[in-house]
C-alpha cells in the first residue's frame, strides 16, 4: 500500500460532500487515501468484480471546453460504479444563454448527486461550488487539473512503488493547469518537483508560494528552473504538456519560439535517471513539446496514465458521493 511510500499510517477519511477543485484543498493523507481507494477499485475492475458503489447516483457533467478523456472517463466511471452521468454542453443549457452561475448551480444541485465542471477560469468553478449543495468536481480549469494529476500520481506509484523522495521534472509552460496541479500534488505526497520553464511562463506566484510552504511541511523541494537540462537532471519522472492550450491559439507561434528549448527529447532526457518514466496528459503534439521517440518509446507510460483517469476518478466519485 501507499503507506510504504509516504510513511503515513493510512486511515479512512470521510470526504463525503466535499468539493474537489484543487489538490491544495486536500491534505497529504487525504490524497493518499484517494490513491489507495483508486488502487483497490482498479484491482476490482481488473478482476471483473462488480462495483455498485454509486448505485442510483447521478453525476451532471458541464462542459465549456471540449474533451475526450475527461468525458469518457467520468461517464464510464459512473456507469461502472452503478450510477449514471448526464452530459451538459454549455451550448445546450441556460448557463450558455445568460443564466447566472449561482442559479444554475442551485437548480442542478436539486436534480443530481454531484456535478463535474470543465471550464476556463478557475474562479468560475469556485463560484459554482459556492452555490452548489452537492459536491463539485474540477474536470479542468485554466489554473488547475486535479483529476489528471491524481491519475499521474497513481501511475507513478504503480511504476516506482513509491512517491516520497522521487524527483518529478515538468518541462514547458509553467503557468498552465498541469504545472500548478503537479506542484500541489508533488509536495503533498513528499515528491521533489522541478518546473523547467521560461521566466515569462513561470507558475502563478500564489500557487508557487503555497507549494513552497507545503514543501516545508512534507520535506519536499520545489525548484523553478529556467535551464531545461538542470530541471531534468536526475529526474525519476519527466512530464510535459502541450504548449498551446484551448483559448490560446492566437499565441501559438509566439509560444512555439519561446518554449522550443524545453522540448522533451532524447538529448534532454540523457540528464534524467536511466530508468526515468515519461508522462503526458494527452493529447500530444509529437514534434513540438515531445518527440515521437520519447512518447512512443520504452520510458513512456502515457496510456497507463490515461487509463488511470478512470480509476482515480472512480475513487474521487466514490469518496465524495457514496
Q: From the candidates 122, 144, 145, 301, give the one annotated as an active-site residue.
A: 145
Annotated binding-site residue? 69? yes
**Residue 309 marked ligand-binding:** yes
Q: Are residues 152 and 213 in contact, defined by beta-carbon separation less than 8 angstroms? A: no
Catalytic residue among 19, 45, 241, 313: 241
Residue 245 known to bind ligand: yes
270 noted as active-site residue: no
Is 49 an active-site residue? no
For residues 39 and 41, what is the distance between their CA atoms, to the nearest angstrom?
Answer: 6
From 118, 255, 301, 311, active-site residue? 118
> Residue 282, annotated ligand binder?
yes
285 is in an annotated binding site: no
* Residues 229 and 204 sit within 8 Å (Cβ to Cβ): no
Is position 90 annotated in a ligand binding site? no
Give the Cα separation of 170 and 188 in Å (integer).
Answer: 16
Does residue 66 have a known ligand-binding role? no
Q: Which of 32, 148, 263, 313 is catalytic?
A: 148
Separation of alpha carbons 222 and 209, rounded Å? 10
Does the annotation list 70 as a binding residue?
yes
Of 273, 174, 267, 173, the residue nearest 233 (C-alpha):
273
How far apart, in whole angstroms, are the C-alpha atoms of residue 240 and residue 282? 9
Annotated catalytic, 142? no
Region at 239 (left for phi over 0; alpha for psi -120 to 50; beta for the rest):
beta
Work out the number of other CB atoms within 10 angstroms of the CB of residue 51. Answer: 16
Is 212 marked as binding a ligand? no
Catalytic residue among 152, 309, 311, 313: 309
Known active-site residue 269: no
278, 289 Cβ separation under 8 angstroms: no
The three cell numbers of residue 314 are 472512480
Q: Is 110 annotated as a binding residue?
A: no
Q: Please pick, among 173, 263, 281, 313, the residue that the annotation labels catalytic.
A: 281
Question: Has 18 been annotated as catalytic?
Answer: no
The span from the CA of 2 to the CA of 6, in Å, is 6
Burial of 191 (0-12, 13-18, 19+ CB in 10 A): buried
Distance CA 306, CA 70 (A): 10
Q: Is 148 tagged catalytic?
A: yes
Nearest to 168 by CA among 201, 190, 194: 194
Q: Is 246 annotated as a binding residue?
A: yes
| Straight-line distance from the first to the last Cα atom of the chain, in angstroms, rounded to the nearest whole number | 23
Active site residue ranges: 118, 145, 148, 241, 281, 309
- Mark the binding-site residues for carbamoyl phosphate, compressed into ranges: 67-70, 94, 118, 145-148, 281-282, 309
- Mark the binding-site residues for L-ornithine, compressed into ranges: 177, 241, 245-246
- Mark the binding-site residues, compressed into ranges: 67-70, 94, 118, 145-148, 177, 241, 245-246, 281-282, 309
Amino acid at each position: 500500500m501507499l503507506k510504504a511510500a509516504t510513511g503515513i499510517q493510512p486511515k479512512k477519511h470521510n470526504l463525503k460532500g466535499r468539493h474537489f477543485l484543487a489538490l491544495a484543498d486536500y491534505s497529504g493523507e487525504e490524497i493518499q487515501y484517494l490513491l489507495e481507494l483508486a488502487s483497490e477499485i482498479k484491482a476490482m475492475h481488473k478482476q471483473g468484480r462488480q462495483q455498485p458503489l454509486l448505485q442510483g447516483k447521478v453525476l451532471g457533467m458541464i462542459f465549456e471546453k471540449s474533451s475526450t478523456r475527461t468525458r469518457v472517463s467520468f461517464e464510464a466511471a459512473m456507469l461502472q460504479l452503478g450510477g449514471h452521468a448526464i452530459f451538459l454542453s454549455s451550448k445546450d443549457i441556460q448557463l450558455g444563454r445568460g443564466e447566472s452561475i449561482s442559479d444554475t448551480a442551485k437548480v442542478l444541485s436539486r436534480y443530481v448527486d454531484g456535478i463535474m465542471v470543465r471550464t476556463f477560469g478557475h474562479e468560475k468553478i469556485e463560484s459554482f461550488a459556492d452555490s452548489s449543495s452537492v459536491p463539485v468536481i474540477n474536470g479542468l480549469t485554466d489554473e488547475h487539473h486535479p483529476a489528471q494529476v491524481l491519475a499521474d500520481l497513481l501511475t507513478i506509484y504503480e511504476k516506482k512503488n513509491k512517491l516520497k523522495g522521487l524527483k518529478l521534472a515538468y518541462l514547458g509552460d509553467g503557468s498552465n493547469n498541469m504545472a500548478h496541479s503537479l506542484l500541489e500534488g508533488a509536495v503533498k505526497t513528499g515528491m521533489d518537483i522541478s518546473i523547467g520553464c521560461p521566466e515569462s511562463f513561470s507558475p502563478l506566484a500564489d500557487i508557487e508560494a503555497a507549494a513552497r510552504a507545503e514543501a516545508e511541511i512534507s520535506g519536499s523541494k520545489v525548484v523553478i528552473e529556467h535551464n531545461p537540462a538542470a530541471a531534468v537532471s536526475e529526474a525519476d519522472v519527466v512530464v510535459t504538456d502541450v504548449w498551446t492550450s484551448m483559448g490560446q491559439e492566437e499565441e501559438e507561434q509566439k509560444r512555439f519560439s519561446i518554449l522550443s528549448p524545453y522540448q522533451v527529447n532524447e538529448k534532454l532526457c540523457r540528464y534524467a535517471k536511466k530508468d526515468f518514466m515519461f508522462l503526458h496528459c494527452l493529447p500530444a503534439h509529437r514534434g513540438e513539446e515531445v518527440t515521437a521517440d520519447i512518447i512512443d518509446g520504452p520510458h513512456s507510460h502515457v496510456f497507463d496514465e490515461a487509463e488511470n483517469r478512470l480509476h482515480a476518478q472512480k475513487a474521487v466519485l466514490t469518496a465524495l458521493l457514496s
